[in-house]
Amino acid sequence: MIDIAGWAPEPEETTEVVGAGPSEALAGLLDVEPPGEELPPLWHWLHFLERPAQRDLGPDGHPREGRFLPPIPERRRMFAGGRFRIHDPLRAGDAVTRRTELASTAVKRGRSGEMLFVTVRHRFLRDGTEIAVEEQDLVYRSGGAASRPEPPRFEAPAVDAPWTLSTTADPVMLFRFSALTYNAHRIHYDEAYATGVEGHAGLVVHGPLLAILCLELPRRAGLKVRELSFRARRPVHAGQPFVAAGSPDGTLSIHAPGDATAMTATFA
């Protein structure tokens, strides 16, 4: 049974000068031109990175301990979604302070047993003024070896929408995105671990990468996004063709093989 009684981490604060290099690198990954001075929504995920020592990592590649990592045994982490509100964009050259706090926790029971839902809130400030607020929803569960995964499907989804962006993430793309976000979770690069230990059907495409691809649709259409919300519904695996679809009405989604919706999102 998941027990986090007494877990109440104190807020923390870090300040960073936003460099242009990470955005240029992500633009290369996406085969687009660098965005210029303003960071597109969610591209701040390439900044304020944690860089733990190798000895501090657990068997899954994540840190064993951390201020906002819940104290539960055999912890496994999943990206569930989040929200982002922008008052003024982050810009290259800005000195930005990120204040992080635990926003909420909830224990729920799913098909695989008990799960701990954790929401972490980040407030971004420039010269003492709040310019953006982000909430990240993460799911943690405890457990032993995973069950045998179902074989993945590879048929390209058929999607009819005003905006579409078709992608197939190969291991090279996943490696590069892991490097840009300093994400050492083995489900993104160690197929034997992803399938044999965590029960996935292959290497897992990062949830944040799917969210960024959703937001590429209004960005490429020339729209300014001030608020967004997204929810991960099921994983997409390396080699599976998927489609980011959207509409000017503010709806976005990721469609995977088998007529599956992997992520839904809204923007304004």
Q: Residue 149 in contact with residue 200, Cβ under 8 Å?
A: yes
Q: What is the pLDDT of residues 5-24, one digit of tens each?
A: 888 899 999 999 999 999 99
Fold (CATH) for 12-267: Thiol Ester Dehydrase; Chain A (3.10.129)
pTM of the predicted protein model: 0.95
Nearest Cα residue to 135 out of 207, 210, 84: 84
Can you tell me the mean pLDDT for 71-91?
A: 92
Sketch the domain layout of the chain as residue ranges: 12-267
Strands 260-267, 251-256: pairing is antiparallel
Strands 227-232, 251-256: pairing is unpaired
Q: What is the pLDDT of residues 126-140, one digit of tens each?
A: 999 999 999 999 999
| Mean per-residue pLDDT of the chain | 94
